[in-house]
Amino acid sequence: EVQLLESGGGLVQPGGSLRLSCAASGFTFSSYAMSWVRQAPGKGLEWVSAISSSGHSTYYADSVKGRFTISRDNSKNTLYLQMNSLRADDTAVYYCAKFRSSQISCYYCGMDVWGQGTTVTVSS
Amino acid sequence: DIQMTQSPSSLSASVGDRVTITCRASQSISNYLNWYQQKPGKAPKLLIYAASSLQSGVPSRFSGSGSGTDFTLTISSLQPEDFATYYCQQTFSTPLTFGPGTKVDIK
């Protein structure tokens, strides 16, 4: 079964750090681009970051650029999101998602597999 | 950055109704457009990619159309399990952007 399982969420103080992980199974992880998408309470979906299948190319939303770092370990079938300098507006459910392709920008590049999400709360 | 808008923001419909949701991009994105369905407390689900291609396992009552800047998602006969929020997303260029969503609820 194709599956993504996020972990690492929790309560953190403003200015703090967290590292999210996403364990993949049931597909050839190294063949697909991956992404993080978040959803603040009661709000819509916000794309956060993406990484190519090889890990050589990374992309970020302006709202997290310079604070968040996406990475992957293809030998461990795991995607990561290192989040530093966290702010209250980073509070959200964070989903990892698999692209249909090794690329991030293409006409067939929908995100076809999603994890269940992990909750990050930034509060003092 | 490419901005995505959706209309309406919400709609009320009955089982069996034909429902159409519109998505507009701030610049041409060819057919680099996806549609997702999200139910409360659940992860999004990919319905349509490349503007009109049905994702595997998605019922054929869902269809997508459009190219350039204007796109539509149509549910031909609304079923009880279709009450949800629908989002469009462009994958033409980064930052990848989602529309604000359209909530479909029961009339």
Check residue B27 and give its pLDDT: 98
Chain B interface mutation, best of A36, A47, A101, A107, highest count of B Cβ atoms under 10 Å: A107
Q: Are B103 and B10 in contact (CB under 8 A)?
A: yes
DSSP letters, A20-86, are: EEEEEESS-GGGS-EEEEEE-TT--EEEEEEE-SSSS-EEE-TTTTTTEEEEEETTTTEEEEEE-S-
β-strand pairing of B62-67 with B53-54: unpaired
Res A38: pLDDT: 98
Whether A27 contacts A113, CB under 8 Å: yes
Question: What is the pLDDT, as a whole number, of residue B101?
Answer: 98
Find out whether A84 and A68 touch, Cβ atoms under 8 Å.
yes
Of A100, A108, A116, the CB nearest to B43: A116
Angstrom distances, CA of residue B42 to CA of A50, A94, A119, B1, B45: 21, 12, 13, 28, 9
**To the nearest whole number, what is the mean pLDDT of chain B?**
97
Q: What is the pLDDT along chain A (124 residues), one digit of tens a residue?
A: 999 999 999 999 999 999 999 999 999 999 999 999 999 999 999 999 999 999 999 999 999 999 999 999 999 999 999 999 999 999 999 999 999 999 998 888 899 999 999 999 999 9
pLDDT score recorded for residue A114: 98
For tokens 């290192």, the residue is A82
What pLDDT does A55 receive?
Answer: 96
Residues of A with CB below 8 A from B38's CB? 45
pLDDT digits (tens, 9 = 90+) for B31-80: 999 999 999 999 999 999 999 999 999 999 999 999 999 999 999 999 99
Supply φ then ψ for residue A90, to 5 degrees.
-85, -5
Please tell me if residue B89 touches chain A, with a CB cutoff of 8 Å: yes
* CB nearest A44 (choices: B34, B91, B100): B100
Q: What pLDDT does residue A107 have?
A: 82
